[in-house]
Amino acid sequence: MKVGFIGLGLMGKPMSINIIKKSGMPVMVFDLDKEKTNQVAAEGAEAAASIKEIAEKCDVIISMVPKSEHVISVYNELLPEAKTGKIFIDMSTIDPQVSRDLAEKIKEKGAEMIDAPVVKSVPAAETGTLGIYVGGAEETYKKVENILKCMGSNIIYLGENGAGLVMKLCHNTLVSEIQNGVNEMITLAQKNGISVEEFMTAVSYGGAQNFYLDTKGKVIAEGNFKTAFSVENMNKDVNLTAGLVKQLGLNLPGVEVARNVYSQAMESGYGKEDFSATFKVVNK
């Protein structure tokens, strides 16, 4: 079995390298940036000249690209080569309906597809300890579980196509809401003469302690918003969630509050900074 990996960005590069080092399978890689392709090839992969070559020569094809439109573009090149025996794994975070539509097209060609978006950021991608949410036929998931285990230490099967993506959007939007609460209460504390450091210590004495205060409080105190996960990416995810909420006719005010904060952060030019830079929006 030969594995193909498309998209060698901040997450895709270490994810693909873990497959190379752990799977014992031949791996072929491709990125539009030829330098990235060559960097991963230096780790033991075969460099592909195109997405079409990956589709032709690989049995399991993984994609990890930024947005729905990028996944659609990739699959426009993959679909002509889809056939019985090939398995497609999209690990991007995109609109669940886009993924379901692509899965149906793959199925019509006799091939199989699952969505398997990831949680946690670059350090976990490097150590192979990502969380992975899987949607699709369970028997398809079982066929590639060993490959997914090269990249993640916590993998959960959630149901049919799109289920993994719905869970990913729920996760990331919950993160955005928690961070927004952290931002608001640090702002309120500071306006009353309590430092970020004092706030963090005091919160640790009670029940409100949380991962995003523990990890982003120091970032906020220092004003150093080096990117682990960008405002731009979180803005995309929160807006996808807002679309899903609207589609289902739900009223979830916290989602709308988060969406508005991220919209302002984008307008303020914070898109490439860490998502905790939304503190600057709230603090204004």
H or E segment and range at residue 155: strand 152-159
DSSP state of 277: G
Which contacts (CB < 8 Å, 24+ apart) does range 23-32 have? Answer: 23/146, 23/147, 23/150, 25/1, 25/147, 26/2, 27/2, 27/3, 28/2, 28/3, 28/4, 28/53, 28/54, 28/57, 28/58, 29/4, 29/5, 30/4, 30/5, 30/6, 30/54, 31/6, 31/7
**Distance between alpha carbon 140 and the CA centroid of its chain, in Å?**
21
Q: Number of helices and strands (H, E) in the chain?
A: 13, 9
Q: What is the pairing mode between strands 118-119 and 130-135?
A: antiparallel
Instruction: Please give the sequence-ordered ranges of beta strands (E in DSSP) within 34-107, or none if there are none.
Output: 46-47, 60-63, 87-90
**Catalytic status, residue 57:** no
Q: Which of 13, 120, 168, 280 is catalytic?
A: 168
- Which residues does the annotation mark as catalytic? 168
